[in-house]
Structure 1
Amino acid sequence: MTELRHRGATEKELQHQNSEDKGSETEGKERDGASDNETKSDSGVSEVPVPADDTPEVLNKALSGLSSRWKNWWVRGILTLAMISFFFIIIYLGPMVLMMIVLCVQIKCFHEIITIGYSVYHSYHLPWFRTLSWYFLLCVNYFFYGETVTDYFFTLVQREEPLRILSKYHRFISFALYLTGFCMFVLSLVKKHYRLQFYMFGWTHVTLLIVVTQSHLIIHNLFEGMIWFIVPISCVICNDIMAYMFGFFFGRTPLIKLSPKKTWEGFIGGLFATIVFGILLSYVMSGYRFFVCPVEFNNDSNSFTVDCKPSELFQLQDYGLPPVLQSITGWTTVKLYPFQIHSIALSAFASIMGPFGGFFASGFKRAFKIKDFANTIPGHGGIMDRFDCQYLMATFVNVYIASFIRGPNPSKVIQQLLALRPDQQLHIFNSLKAHLTEKGLLPALEEAA
């Protein structure tokens, strides 16, 4: 009897335990199902394969004894030094080579983003779409580079008959080219792929807006003087390196969830290091005409030159120090180039707002489940992974120049006046003469003469 009671009690306990296990399994399945649904709704796209590691075999053998953390540190460091060396070489070759490098970088970044779109949406089979994507890139570059040549090299354009005709009808030609691509897209629409085709049409145009438009602003900054190109780019590079170094050795506090490896220690350390670097680099470069003079076309030598009389922005001036610094240094004034003051704003933006370009790119990569845009540079990813902050920086520099630096350019006004008909020039002369006479400036000039 005792054994029967014991067996009955045991059977009841087992039944109760089984029912609890089934309930917990059901709850677990519900939770797993909910998490799966959340994951599916969050991604909405298939996962793109992560590119294979293409670290050079020489580095793999040399660093084989290190941990993955230190191996990655050395690979990134060596490749960073190689890229900086290449950067110095192209600076030495001059602004026109720099412009071509910017164009090559822009094309590669466009290719990386478009390739992700093709992979995510499985759009390789769409009729004509790869061709149309590159055609739109060609159209947009034709428009922007045509505007730049007309704006900065007006003398060259007016001297050459073919260039003068292209300049006169440039916007109409650009619109006609784009309209042709638009019609080709409409004609390529297929009934089964309408939504996918419009996805990729939007993807292409957003990529053009982000990459091509902002790379065009980099060219504008370059033609204002190479210092407006080199200092901002160098500040972003310096901030990226120093934030990585401070974060690697001292980082403890996470900065943002989009980039788990970013830390507050790296962010703050990179900020101070970049400001000091920007001030020192600006001091060195402001003393050379090669860096501070805008790019111009010389009719006499029939070539592009960067020679001029430096503006006040690049001439040493005395600045009074605050009393606190006077007591520490014993100096009452210090000689600085005015551009060094502007470099503080550029360095601060590169350190505070520039990383948000990287955060944006990180969010983009997480949305499509990819580690890097490509595997072009071992340890760094694709070209777009290195230039995600540069495009945002280029836009800021262009806006900064237009807002605080650039004024009316008399030489460009004269060039445009000389291109007018004689009767138009005479009308402007009489209008200007009447205006100066009314202000009392012209009689004063005549009496002095």
Structure 2
Amino acid sequence: MRVGIIGGGVTGIVAGYYLSKKGHDVVIFESEEDVGGLLGSYHISKGGVSYNIECFYHHIFRSDRELIGLIEELGLSERLLWLKGSTGYYVGGKLYPLTTPKEILKFPHLTLSDKVRLAALVLRTKFGSFDKLDQVRARDVIERIGGRRVYKNFFEPLLRSKFEDERKNISAAWLFGRIRIRSDRSAGGEHLGYMEGGFQYLIDRLKEEILKQGGKIQTDEPVTKILTEKGRISGLKSRKKSYQFDKVISTVSPRVLDAISDLDVGDLPYQGACCALFGLKRPLLDGIYWLNIAGDLPFGALIEHTNFAPRSWYGGESLLYVASYFQREDDPRWKLSEEAVTAQFIDGIKKLFPDFTADDINWWRITRTPDAGPIYRVGFKRLIKPYRTAIDDLYIAGMFSGANYPERSIEGSVRAAKACVELFEEDREK
């Protein structure tokens, strides 16, 4: 059976991998120059050192069973390492490490009573129905269990950095889901998975297997129209030509799908992301991997990758991500030039670390997308899209699928791909 897949992100190439293994004639269409989507990487070559590093920061969790299983299936398990991720909080002009119980107890912006209530809140996240949590705001649950200070001094800056003005509308389901997956902790910190050499190894192996099974990957070829005939799929039209297909799987965002199809996708809220990566001459965050920031800055977190993965993998450089999200198409982080946005980020880093200068930077890259992921507002669950659509033989899967609720992840995208392929096969056998 001839199958067209729209989008070469994780969901698209994983679906392509499993369908090609089953003997289908698969063609993947990707608008960018390479597949990978949000898991794509830069190839850095400086001073005789060459390596791949993700455009957006990534790690995985021990609960990511489908992703870990896929890595093992592809023969890459020896590259999957479990490293300790340290965390910190920048508030009131000072950086506070918050990795160990002792460090959390010393955090001065919460009282002892606040910390007891915070622990009670974290314990409560291990229980509870997402159906009920979907109907209430994260803020209301935090204030009811943890108190107003716990919300204002601990969670509100985190919600602001992730969702900005939408933070007041985010559901408790998202909050509970996010905390639940971050449960692989010891006294020394959180255990997170990363692939030696980067996740580009996973992308490359998936590509290799698809091509080995006779599949095709058409990069730099966006689909411009999903073609139908009498309510059934007939093919795809790209920027270059038209193709005939028996079935189609779309993995692109609802915004893109709405533009290329006759489907009524509905109002599914998405937000964009702007992420800069700096190659630095020296470490910046005093051993902390992930630093959340309370303050009026154009970013909400700094992630020093080389406080997680060894600097020796990267020629001794320190790699620092600057993470920010936006919800409006007129946001300066989307509209301004890369140079202008990067300059704003550098100014923001200087406000936090006055001894930081442009001379500390060896190089920088920046990646932006309007479709970084859903905004998990109260009531989001009813907006989740099924894999089957109103058009026969057209399936949709991606970050908007149930597998990525109540928080998107690489794991969720793998699960969405597998679930969609299973339905595809069920329908084919009818």
| TM-score (normalised: structure 1) | 0.27
Task: Please tell me whether Structure 1 or Structure 2 has the larger radius of gyration of its CA atoms.
Answer: 1
**Greater fraction of residues in strand:** 2
**Greater fraction of residues in helix:** 1
| TM-score (normalised: structure 2) | 0.28
Q: Which has the higher contact order (CA 8 A, sep 6+)?
A: 2
